[in-house]
Amino acid sequence: MPDDQPLDAPSETLASLLRQRVAQSGDQPALTHWSGAAWQTVSWNELAADVHRVASGLLSHGIQAGDRVVQVSENRYEWIVADQALLSIGAVHVSLHVSLASPELVAQIEHCEARAVLLAGPPQADKLREIRAEQAAGLRWFAWEPVPRGLAGQRVLGWQDLLSGRQDLLAGSAAEAVASEPVPDQLAAIIYTSGTVGEPRGVMLTHGNLAFNMRQTLSRFDEHAGDVRLNFLPLSHAFARTCDLYTWIGGGSRLVLARSRETLLEDLAHWQPTLLNGVPLFYERMLRLLRQRGVAQRPGSVRQLLGGRVRLCCCGGAALPEEVYDYYLSQDVPVLQGYGLTETSPVISLSTPARHRRGSIGQPLPGVEVRLAEDGELLTRGPHVMRGYYRNEEAAREMLRDGWLHTGDLARQDDDGFLYLTGRKREILVTSGGKNVSPTRLEMLLNQDPLIHQSLVVGDGRDYLTALIVPDPDTLRARIKAARILLFSRRSALRHRRVLAMYAECLRQRLRDLAPHEQIRRFTLLGRAFSIEAGELTPKLSLRRRVIEAHFRAEIESLYGRSA
């Protein structure tokens, strides 16, 4: 197949992409965002002018090529301007998600050896109040909204401070090359993702990685200036970063930043997008909403809910349920599933309007090589593969072997080149919202509590996390006695409201420093332990997850409001 042929090394950079787009599209509308009380639209020329001014401001505050600059912000105009400004001067954009807990933010800022931190405003600053002086040494702080209290004894500079930087530090106009023009193999971004043991890994992606992946993704679709792309996925993640942000610049469509999750339906109705990227949970929720309204079987109901003009719906981040695929296809709005990893910039394979199949994650992108190992693991190589993990060569060697990146996912490929995932080799679960979670990390934290003997975290392909908890019998007995809880049987102890409240508080305390998507929403207490004899534990006492989930299927389904 032609798509299997390797391509030459990437020649574009993310900085050159914007210049090309400005030269071609100039005064055309580029980006629409909510600005306080009204929608505001900027042209490509206006966007480039702000990028140029912020790049000058960063330079005037000592940010140089190669410096790591963290941004902790929700999607907004300033996020995009900062991203493009950092890329234009050769700095490295380290985007951290706003949902991260305070300890995780501090740890990742410290790990990437950040030179500066860009914040949305006070809520993000409040998460960093506990940062120690030695951790903040040498850091410069900026925020898009005023942070009067400062951080770590320093003043937090504002958006206007960057816009008023010394313009003489960048030669030429906003559409021209800057002095320190980056090259394709130069580091552009570090994006943190969870490893198999839960330790965050900083994926290093170059300009060439991201520009190549964007171009090859774009080659599968006919995107043009008349298209409207509504973005609601977080730009801090690789999916939206490449497939919403950089494809918008490369394709020249119009980008609209949704105001919030709460206003998404209003934003869809108002802007009538033609292009949408979403995770399976989004498409499932739209289907549930139509069913609640009693119009799911009405022809055209999905298209109307999504604004009336949508022509491309793409899905990534987790597996799309076949029932959802079938429904959207019946409504003549096929959801096109793709697949990838942060480590692959991120797209490896993609379905298209002309080539998509039930249960498939599509065909490999042009220039992206894939093969299946003897055990069925999907391997890939090409210009899309990361440089490595920042300050973690051992983990990089584990992922990159003999020139191939080992995805950790098991797959099969049919005679037409369509890929199908069949399982996961690594112990990482992905929620239906596309969030990566290391269950072993959570279980390790839970099992440290004296009340818990064993635990199993569930949530792969689901809306939220649940847990099977095996109580420590001696500790539980002592706590029940101390609390003077009257019980009639051992079984009744596992259902008593005060005992359940005791464990709910235990889970809350153990996971309090983790992100919202890593919290256990529901749990059940089991009356027996996992055992080797039942095939639930290996001889090394590691969990056999599939066996345990099969044995306790009824309990798990009840945690999600279903019957087994």
Q: Before 346, cis peptide (omega within 30)?
A: yes
**207-428: CATH number:** 3.40.50.12780
Structure confidence by residue, pLDDT tens digits, 244-254: 999 999 999 99
Looking at the domain 438-559, which fold is it? GMP Synthetase; Chain A, domain 3 (3.30.300)
pLDDT tens sequence across 454-480: 999 999 999 999 999 999 998 999 999
Same CATH fold assignment for domains 15-182 and 207-428: yes
Q: How confident is the model at residue 255 (pLDDT cuts 50, 70, 90)?
A: very high
- The pLDDT, as a whole number, for residue 289 is 94
**Band (444; pLDDT cuts 50, 70, 90):** confident
**pTM for the complete prediction?**
0.86
Beta bridge partners of 523: 467
What is the average pLDDT across 3-17? 73
Question: Which of 75, 76, 165 minimizes the C-alpha distance to 116?
Answer: 165
Nearest to 231 by CA among 192, 262, 263, 273: 273
Per residue in 339-395, pLDDT (tens digit) is 999 999 999 999 999 999 999 999 999 999 999 999 899 999 999 999 999 999 999
For the beta carbon of residue 275, count every other beta carbon within 10 angstroms. 25
Share of the chain above pLDDT 90, in %: 77
Give residue limits of the domains in the chain: 15-182, 207-428, 438-559
pLDDT value of residue 5: 46
Question: What integer is the mean pLDDT of 502-524?
Answer: 95
Q: Which of 110-119, 126-135, 173-182, 434-443 has the lowest mean pLDDT?
A: 173-182
Q: Which of 93-107, 155-169, 277-291, 417-431 has the lowest mean pLDDT?
A: 155-169
* 522-538 mean pLDDT: 92
Residue 313 and residue 329 in contact, taking contact as beta carbons nearer than 8 Å = no
What is the spatial distance between Cα 87 and Cα 102, in angstroms, rounded to a whole number?
27
Residues 296, 290 contacting (CB under 8 angstroms): yes
Give the angle subtended at the CA of 439 by the CAs of 434 and 445, to the nearest 5°: 130
What does the mean pLDDT of the chain come to? 92
The predicted pLDDT at position 425 comes to 79
- The pLDDT tens digits for 170-213 are 654 443 434 468 999 999 999 998 643 446 799 999 999 999 99
pLDDT at 8: 61
CATH number belonging to domain 15-182: 3.40.50.980
DSSP code string of 7-41: PPPP---HHHHHHHHHHHHTTSEEEEEEETTEEEE
